[in-house]
Structure 1
Amino acid sequence: MGNYLLAEGMEITSAYECGNGTDIRSLGHNRFALEAEQDKGYGDPYNSLSYYFNFSVHNRSSKARKIQIHVGNIVHDLPYLKHIWLKKGEDWLKLPQGNISTDEGARKVILSFSIEPGEKVFVCNAFWYPYSEMKGWLEDVARQNPEGCRLSCIGETAQKREILCLSIGRLTDGGKRVLIAGTPQASEFGDLACKGIIEFLLSAEEFAGSIRERYIIDVIPQQNPDGVALGTCMVNALGQNPLFEFEELSAGREVSLEAEAVWSWIKRTEPSLYLEYHSYFQDNRPSFRPYLFSSEHYTDPQKRVLGERIDQALLRISTGAPMRVGVGHERFRKCLAYQLIKHFDIPSYFYKLHSRETLGRNIEQAVKVLRAVINIYGGRNRSEGPSTI
């Protein structure tokens, strides 16, 4: 038992970067089980959740097999866990709904699928991208685009992983800055949305070129590298949850190294717009949803108007009702976007994607969100008037 099993010619493990799954065991012929690993946080209940899993199955036998795997210890939103992806090489294949069932009493989801001889698949309830691969990819992008990109280490985690920011655009003359980031929630695929946005920004498309000419776009794909590498739901290597630390940080209290690094970068670079990508796995959530933070905190009336115009632009391209975050919201007042509006008058947004959609469709929507926000921010929506920032 543990995070590795070889039985009946089937090798099942979570012992790799981003992996999550323990107590892997055989239940009999072609039937296996494992437990999703719970975040080892403290204090806030959100710091000890268990809903994410990521494991691989390698058929080392000479025959095709149809197997069943029971994934237990799903303690958060189990009834809505209906979107599972199998990664085969570079391809993401969605597991059909008929191959997924849940047992709420046992807090488990049961997955069935066939696997060919010699075939290896990764099984997860979200899209994922290892920190080491993201780091290598960002380094390659910066090296291949020396005039238009700069890669910065903005901080270091408890396990000595670098928190990386790729800056794109007007790097020589101090253009206005826009900050884009993936969520600190390690189990969500905001990092892949950011990767897709970087690819778009460096493309030959005319709109991408106009962005590079007018702005500096800072992109932080992975705010919580240790969490990504360790396969956590939300916390870092020390059990801290950077997502919900920014109210304490703004009050001068000690928080995680990850939150400190992002806050320090913002204070140093003074972005005038912030966009953070998140994702859902729950089937009862819409595919594409903005989180709209109250404009009541703005002290600058022009910023308030700008924020409200961006709100409307995001609503027009989304598929469900927004999450509206009012003044003093018990949970989300602790988040970065809320605190940026409150303290710096920076229009700030969370945007939720969804694992029900393909990865390609999610990236398309992420880019669509960027287009909509930049159009309003840059005054391209002439019917509503130009931005003054």
Structure 2
Amino acid sequence: MEKFNQEFRDRQIAITSDIEGGNAYDFKKYPGNIYSFTPRRDPGENYSGQVYYFKLQVENLQKDIANVTITAIADYDEIWKGWQPSLNPKIWIFSPNRLKIPEILTQDRVKSTPRSMSINLTLQPFEKIIISNMFTPPYSELVQELHDLAETYPTFLKLNEIGQSPLGNKMYSIRVNPQGESDNLFKILVGGTSQANEFGDYAAIVILQGFLDMGAVFWDNFTTKFSLEFIFFQNPDGMVQGMNMVNANRENLFFSHFHENQSMPLENEIIWNHIKANPPELYLEMHSFFQDHKTIRPYLYPLELLSEKKNRKFYLKIAKALVKYSNGMKEEIHLNQKYFQDTLCYRLMEKFQTYSFQYKLHSGMSINQKKLIAWDVFYLCIKNLKKMV
């Protein structure tokens, strides 16, 4: 992996991306307490590069209040279309160790041009904050959240470590009511995304928490027909290193679920081997993006992959419900479509006749909006499944 200038320090301010998920570099200072940086592209990634995403830490080194401007500069020579709709997002401010309670900067403190985004900060004496234009809690915090849930519901949730990434970061699954599982239950699998700095893993945790909040009567009714499992951290190294599409080995995990006779990246092998031991009837994968203007939408996979007419009918019923709920254009994936034929959704549908759906939230929406939508999408799926199973 390339070495980048990840730090800048003068008498007043220290700026660094040498933090979990940090990805800024090329720090510079200009007159008037203005500092700039460039968001780092995913190294080796040709699909997009994800130039719009950034996360970095800013610290006031003085005993006086500091008013500074931090400016993100687009890599204009290779600019990707994703930069433009990211120019007016919410900017999240995190205080270290308080990442569950981010502040959102008001629009008057964020100024954008086609090539840059300037963020005006007022830092209290010795204050240290993390700023980002995407709400992506760090891997370490999400891992702790899974352990907390498993400890809170020790008989109802089973947390399993299913493997480790090339850098040794752990990948997990959580099964709901494992004692009540049987072969005749309809299995639902919910996953985050291998696109590491999207909202996917957090959305999966939100769905799990929403399920638990429904209470014992709902659980009892649900588990008479369904089994439920969640998989987390399909790209944990990407989360830790501030990537999006690639892992520590520069492999694009999202588009690298190859046929079983082909070698896959380690993380994908772990996910695939775990799933194929007990494949799901339905797989829901959560994503987020800066696409369009605050749109949410499903990605639908080719009906031709389902061999039975009954299964195609069931798939269409769920698909129509998701499309009706959405305010953006559905994305229809075609048979053998480049890139997408090597996604996990496609391979599960092809190999196991799994009803596979991706759902894209919008990265610029508030946390509460995204939480509500994530739960609604899951509930729409099970509501329609209850009529079929």
Question: Given the two structures, how large is their TM-score scaled by the length of structure 1?
Answer: 0.89
Task: Sort the Cα spacing of 1:289 and 1:108 in 2 relative to 1 into closer, same or farther, 3 A.
Answer: same
1:93 aligned partner: 103
Q: Deviations over 1:40-75 (max 9, x none)?
A: 225xx1274433210122223233333211222443
Give the match for residue 224 of structure 1.
235
1:169 paired residue number: 177
> Residue 110 of structure 2 aligns to which amino acid in structure 1?
I
User: How does 1:356-371 map onto structure 2 within 5 Å?
Assistant: 356-371=364-379
Aligned counterpart in structure 1 of residue 23 of structure 2, from 20, 23, 27 = 20
Q: Which runs of no fewer than 5 residues in structure 2 stay unpaired?
A: none
Change (3 A) 1:15 1:270: same
Question: Is contact 1:47-1:240 (8 Å) kept?
Answer: no
Residue-by-residue CA offset, 1:208-256 (whole Å, 9 max, x unaligned): 553345432111122111111111021001000110012xx22521111
CA distance in 1, matches of 2:137, 2:178: 28
- Distance in 1 (CA, whole Å) between partners of 2:110 and 2:385 is 43
- 1:114 corresponding residue in structure 2: 122
1:91 counterpart SS class: coil
Structure 1 position 281 matched with structure 2 position 290: yes
Residue identity over aligned pairs, in percent, reads 28
Number of the residue aligned with 2:44: 41
* 1:261 lines up with 2:266 in the alignment: no
The answer (yes or no) to whether the contact 2:134–2:364 under 8 Å persists in 1 is: no
Q: What per-residue deviation string (whole Å, max 9, x for no partner) do you get for residues 176-221 of structure 1?
A: 3211111100120111101111211222445455334543211112
Q: State the alpha-carbon separation in 2 of the partners of residues 239 and 376 from structure 1.
A: 39
SS of residue paired to 2:102? strand
CA displacement 1:61-112 (0-9 Å, x = unmatched): 23333321122244322221121322243322333334334444xx433222
Q: Is the 8 A contact 1:181 1:194 kept in 2?
A: yes
SS at match of 2:63: coil
Q: How does 1:322-361 map to 2 (within 5 A)?
A: 322-361=330-369
Number of residue pairs aligned between Structure 1 and Structure 2? 374
Q: Conserved in 1, the CA contact under 8 Å of 2:51 and 2:83?
A: no
Q: 1:242 aligns with which of 253, 263, 284?
A: 253
Q: What one-letter code is carried by the residue in structure 1 that aligns with 2:239?
A: V
Counterpart residue identity of residue 372, structure 1: L
- 1:328 is aligned with what amino acid? N
Matched, 1:142 2:150: yes
Deviations 1:240-285 (A, max 9, x none): 0110012xx2252111111111111121011110000000124x24
Aligned-residue CA RMSD (Å): 2.1
Deviation at residue 39 of structure 1 after TM alignment: 1.4
Tell me how far apart the structure 2 counterparts of residues 377 and 191 of structure 1 sit (CA, whole Å).
23
Identify the residue that residue 321 of structure 1 maps to in structure 2.
329
Aligned match for 1:299, one of 292, 298, 307: 307
* Contact 1:101–1:111 (8 Å) recurs in 2: yes
Matched with 2:84 is: 79
In the alignment, structure 1 segments of 5+ residues that lack a partner are 380-386
CA distance in 1, matches of 2:357, 2:191: 10
Aligned: 1:186 with 2:189 = no
Secondary structure, counterpart of 1:16 in structure 2: coil
One-letter identity of the residue aligned with 2:272: W
Residue 63 of structure 2 is matched in structure 1 by 62
Structure 1 position 150, deviation (Å): 1.0
> SS state of the match for residue 110, structure 1?
strand
CA separation in 2, counterparts of 1:305 and 1:150? Answer: 33
